[in-house]
């Protein structure tokens, strides 16, 4: 399950936010997997790539719902500061909303 802050749900439902950066010790998901996001519904994982937070660009930030790489990096620092300091790996997860089962 991928959880998002409430402030991102409208952008996900509008297909404006199509990726997220997560910090994990190891990869938790794989491309092709379906997940569920409360407030959005099912999503399909399209790709997962390991990235370096310091090397994220504005092009990385836009599909994540941020205007610039600096804004995205600031948010990641706010959310994951302790994990960044502990050496966790950053993963870019590209996703799209998936049809509900039975539809």
Quickly count helices (H) and strands (E) in the chain. 3, 4
pLDDT at 102: 52
According to DSSP, the β-strands at 89-97 and 19-24 are: antiparallel
pLDDT at 103: 47
pLDDT tens string, the chain, 103 residues long: the values are: 889 999 999 999 999 999 999 999 999 999 999 999 999 999 999 999 999 999 999 999 999 999 999 999 999 999 998 988 898 999 999 999 998 755 4
Length of the chain, please? 103
Considering only CA atoms, give the Rg of the chain.
13
* Integer Cα distance of 40 and 60 in angstroms: 22
Name the residue among 89, 98, 100 with its Cα closest to residue 32.
Answer: 98
pTM over 0.85: yes
Structural domains of the chain in order of their starting residue, each with its CATH number: 6-97 (3.10.400.10)
* Integer Cα distance of 103 and 91 in angstroms: 31
pLDDT at 1: 84
């Amino acid at each position: 399950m991928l959880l998002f802050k409430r402030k991102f749900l409208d952008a996900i439902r509008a297909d404006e936010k199509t990726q997220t950066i997560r910090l994990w010790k190891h990869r938790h998901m794989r491309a092709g997997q379906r997940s569920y996001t409360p407030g959005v519904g099912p999503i399909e994982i399209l790709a997962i790539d390991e990235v370096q937070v310091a090397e994220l660009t504005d092009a990385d930030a836009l599909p994540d719902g941020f205007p610039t790489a600096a804004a995205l990096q600031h948010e990641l620092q706010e959310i994951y500061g302790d994990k960044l300091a502990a050496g966790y790996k950053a993963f870019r997860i590209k996703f799209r909303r998936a049809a509900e089962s039975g539809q």
